[in-house]
């Protein structure tokens, strides 16, 4: 399975992020799954790709031209796909993915997973959509989605394919057939 992971090119200031990203990458590599991600060598992105590769897994990076021009790409990955811009990058990452996971990240991560959440809720994408709620990172988003239902602006049926996982064991459970 190609697991598309959205996460930041920054490291963040919590050491738990680095530990969790290494654990996730090692599992992806050892399980025979493959990683699709943003293609950067820096921050959590680079750590995830490196851990998948170290565990023997395949890594596909999808990087827009302007990041490649700035030399942000991770050259040692299995495959690098260069897109003309961020919109094409997002579309390609969705096209390649069989499952989608948002690791704690910034506004770019939120934008990317929101597009997947919308496609899943509309029935345009039939794939797991998981928010890695490490140490409660996505608790407020979880509350907001519940509030949308309470306000009659969404429904449990629309949000059925959107999951929150507190740890790797929960992610594995959601992704197992």
pLDDT in tens, 88-117: 999 999 999 999 999 999 999 999 999 999
The domain that holds 47 is classified in CATH as 3.40.50.450
Q: What is the pLDDT of residues 34-53, one digit of tens each?
A: 999 999 888 999 999 999 99
Structural domain total, the chain = 1
* Total-model pTM: 0.95
pLDDT band at 177 (very low <50, low <70, confident <90, very high): low
Distance CA 131, CA 20 (A): 13
Give 13's contacts (C-beta < 8 A, 6+ positions apart): none
The tokens describing 73, both together, are 């790409």
Structural domain containing residue 149: 2-175
CA angle 54, 59, 62 (to 5 degrees): 140
């Amino acid at each position: 399975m190609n697991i598309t992971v959205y996460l930041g090119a920054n490291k963040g200031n919590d050491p738990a992020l680095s530990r969790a990203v290494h654990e996730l990458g090692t599992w992806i590599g050892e399980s025979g799954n493959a990683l699709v991600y943003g293609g950067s060598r820096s921050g959590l992105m680079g750590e995830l790709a490196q851990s998948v590769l170290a565990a023997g897994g395949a890594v596909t990076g999808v990087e827009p031209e302007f990041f490649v021009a700035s030399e942000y790409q991770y050259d040692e990955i299995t495959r690098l796909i260069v897109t003309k811009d961020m919109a094409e990058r997002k579309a390609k990452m969705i096209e390649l993915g069989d499952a989608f996971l948002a690791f704690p990240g910034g506004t770019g991560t939120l934008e990317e997973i929101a597009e997947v959440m919308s496609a899943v809720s509309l029935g345009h994408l039939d794939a797991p959509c998981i928010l890695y709620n490490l140490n409660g990172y996505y608790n407020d988003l979880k509350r907001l989605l519940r509030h949308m239902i309470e306000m009659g602006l969404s429904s449990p049926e629309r949000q059925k394919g959107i999951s929150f996982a507190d740890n790797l064991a929960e992610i594995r459970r959601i992704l197992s057939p």
